[in-house]
Every structure is written in structure tokens, then in C-alpha cells.
């Protein structure tokens, strides 16, 4: 009799576990920041990242300054060009209290004819954090075969254009 009760209860327990939302998001740039590298190797190519974050306070712009803008430069070390099968789609910027998650809206591939091994990506619409705020940045790198890699840049200062 006990065995029969267990056999009936097991599918219900499995269904509850499968439909109950997880308490922790699968990826958190704050919780996982220490495990994310500052360089990644993809198919033998070392990819590094340089970040620039700023707000635009130029006259004629948005009152109180623009939302945060992030400009990310990815470099493929030792290559004559940036690999076509590597890109990036998402960005997380955190001041360790709040986190902004965004998507890249613009891409220059290559960044310039003089730097064919670099691409530049731009994300707009971030928070209105004050200039000189220190932020950490995580970028999700995409690989054509469906893989993702994460790369970080620590201690970036929010700049301003006046």
C-alpha cells in the first residue's frame, strides 16, 4: 500500500518542482561577477573588451542629461580582422546597488579601417546615474554556433559630455 502511495505522489512532486520558479535567476552580473573573466578565448582567439560609459548633457538634448550610453570595443588579439562568427548582444551595467540590462543598438564592424580586428557596439537608454559613478560592465558575447561567453570590465567611471 505504501508503495502505491509513493508512486502516485512522485509525479505530483515532480510536476511541482518543474513548475515552481527558481529563487535565483540563472545569471546575475552582481552575484556572478567574480567568475566572469576580463578576456575570453573563442576558437583560439583571445577577445578583450574596453568600455566607455557616459551621459550627454549637451544643450538641446534631454532635460537633465541623457540616459546612460555604453560604448564597448571588442578586440580580437593577434588577428588581421575580427571574426565574423563572433558578436555581442546584451550588456549589464551595475553600480553594485542597481543593474541595468540592455541590448546593443549599433555596431561598427570593423571599428575603423585602421583597426580591422576591433568592433564597436553601442547600447543606449540606461539609468541616469551621476557622472563619476563607478560601474562594472558585463557583455554577453555570441558565437555563431549558439554558444555564449561573458566578459567583464571593472571600475569604469561614468563620464559626461557637456
Tens digits of residue pLDDT in 61-87:
888 999 999 999 999 999 999 999 999
Q: Is the pTM of this model over 0.75?
A: yes
- Could you tell me which of 50, 33, 17 has the C-alpha nearest to residue 117? 50
Task: Map out the domains of the chain with their CATH numbers.
Answer: 27-161 (2.60.40)
Task: Compute the distance between CA of residue 123 and CA of residue 90 in angstroms, rounded to an integer.
Answer: 9
Q: Are strands 106-108 and 118-124 parallel, antiparallel or unpaired?
A: antiparallel
Q: What are phi and psi of 3, to 5 degrees?
A: -60, -40
pLDDT tens-digit readout, 3-57: 555 455 544 444 444 444 445 557 677 789 999 999 999 999 999 999 999 999 9
**Tens digit of each residue's pLDDT (9 = 90 or more) over 98-150:** 999 999 999 999 899 999 999 999 999 999 999 999 999 999 999 988 899 99
Please, which residues have CB within 8 angstroms of residue 98's CB and are 6 or more apart in sequence? 127
Amino acid at each position: 500500500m505504501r508503495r502505491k502511495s509513493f508512486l502516485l505522489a512522485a509525479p505530483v512532486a515532480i510536476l511541482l518542482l518543474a513548475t515552481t520558479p527558481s529563487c535565483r535567476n540563472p545569471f546575475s552580473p552582481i552575484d556572478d561577477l567574480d567568475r566572469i573573466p576580463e578576456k575570453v578565448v573563442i576558437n583560439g582567439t583571445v577577445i578583450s573588451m574596453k568600455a566607455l560609459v557616459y551621459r550627454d548633457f549637451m544643450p538641446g538634448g534631454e532635460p537633465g542629461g541623457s540616459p546612460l550610453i555604453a560604448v564597448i570595443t571588442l578586440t580580437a588579439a593577434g588577428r588581421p580582422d575580427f571574426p565574423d562568427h563572433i558578436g555581442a548582444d546584451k550588456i549589464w551595467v551595475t553600480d553594485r546597488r542597481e543593474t541595468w540590462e540592455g541590448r546593443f543598438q549599433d555596431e561598427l564592424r570593423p571599428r575603423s579601417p585602421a583597426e580591422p580586428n576591433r568592433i564597436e557596439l553601442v547600447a543606449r537608454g540606461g539609468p541616469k546615474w551621476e557622472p563619476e559613478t563607478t560601474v562594472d560592465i558585463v557583455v554577453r558575447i555570441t558565437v555563431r554556433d549558439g554558444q555564449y561567453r561573458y566578459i567583464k570590465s571593472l571600475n569604469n567611471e561614468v563620464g559626461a559630455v557637456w
